[in-house]
């Protein structure tokens, strides 16, 4: 098996079924990653786990050093990444606690360090990003979900906002018109950086709440935590089934 990494987001700061082998604390040419890279075994296979927001959870999405995280994984020999992230649900199918395997991204972020090819040390480089998520990894995730009997949406467009504030109802309306099914804050530049370094990248999006304006009330942390509890338990099962398939 080629080396696999799992990047855990809000609600998945650690993988409880991971048998830990070692911790690697790296410094990179781009600064410090979010946390130690943890090598361990899941379903008897080696994986590297990284807590995207740090452990404890202290880094807001706009403060994450995405370049250091992706560079560090590449340095450790990782070739495929499964990124887990909490999101808001925009379209009808994306109900709280549900899981989607997104196939597209629209990027609304700004002022993030979003490329490795940023200065005169590199030739001008435009990576192809037609399909931001690896079709091969996505197919394996979808097959694993069927095997583990976990209901998922096999396609979704993820709109990535800057945060850390949540969106206005009008912003969500616009995102829906744009074709977004989900709203989150971390897919970009993470997905593009993985592509720049030639790594396969796919995501498990766990719906934590209805996006702004999609329900009458305000979005509360208590609601998010409750939905993530259910969604992340299913995600852990999905990951175990996925590892047995690849």
List binders of ligand HPA among 196-215 (CB under 6 A).
208-209, 211
Is the CB of residue 138 less than 8 Å from the CB of residue 101? yes
Comparing CB distances to ligand HPA, the nearer of 65 and 161 is 161
Please identify the residue of the shown chain whose CB is closest to the bound ligand HPA: 88
Count of residues interacting with ligand HPA (CB under 6 A): 12
Q: Does 166 bind ligand HPA (CB under 6 A)?
A: yes
Q: Does 227 bind ligand HPA (CB under 6 A)?
A: no
CA–chain centroid gap for 245, Å, is: 20
Binding mask 87-126 for ligand HPA (x = CB under 6 A): xx--------------------------------------
Q: Which of 186, 84, 194 is nearest to 141 (CA)?
A: 84
Residue of 8, 72, 184, 231 that binds ligand HPA (CB under 6 A)? 184
Rounded to the nearest 10°, the torsion over CA 113, 118, 119, 120 is 170
**Beta strand spans in the chain (E):** 4-8, 19-24, 37-42, 45-51, 80-89, 99-100, 104-107, 152-153, 157-160, 182-184, 200-210
Cβ 62 to ligand HPA, closest distance in Å? 12
Which positions lie near ligand HPA, rule CB under 6 A?
86-88, 161, 166-167, 183-185, 208-209, 211
């Amino acid at each position: 098996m080629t080396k696999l990494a799992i990047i855990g987001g809000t609600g998945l700061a650690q993988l409880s079924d991971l048998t830990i082998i070692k911790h690697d604390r790296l410094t990179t040419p781009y600064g410090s990653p979010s946390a130690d890279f943890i090598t361990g075994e899941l379903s008897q296979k080696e994986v590297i786990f990284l807590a995207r927001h740090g452990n404890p959870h202290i880094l807001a999405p706009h403060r994450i050093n995405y370049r250091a995280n992706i560079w560090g994984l590449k340095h450790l020999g990782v070739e495929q990444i499964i990124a887990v992230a909490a999101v808001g649900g925009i379209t009808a199918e994306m109900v709280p606690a549900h899981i989607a395997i997104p196939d597209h991204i629209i990027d609304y972020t700004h002022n993030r360090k979003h490329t490795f090819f940023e200065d005169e040390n590199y030739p001008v480089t435009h990576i192809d990003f037609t399909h931001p998520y690896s079709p091969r990894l996505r197919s394996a995730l979808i097959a694993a979900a069927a095997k583990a009997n976990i209901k998922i949406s096999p396609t979704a467009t993820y709109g990535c906002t800057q945060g850390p504030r949540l969106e206005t109802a009008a912003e969500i309306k616009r995102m829906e018109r744009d074709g977004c099914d989900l709203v989150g804050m971390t897919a970009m530049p993470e997905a593009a950086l993985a592509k720049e370094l030639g790594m396969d990248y796919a995501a498990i999006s766990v719906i934590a709440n209805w996006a702004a304006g999609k329900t009458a009330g305000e979005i509360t942390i208590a609601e998010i935590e409750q939905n993530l509890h259910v969604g992340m338990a299913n995600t852990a099962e999905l990951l175990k089934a996925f590892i047995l398939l690849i």
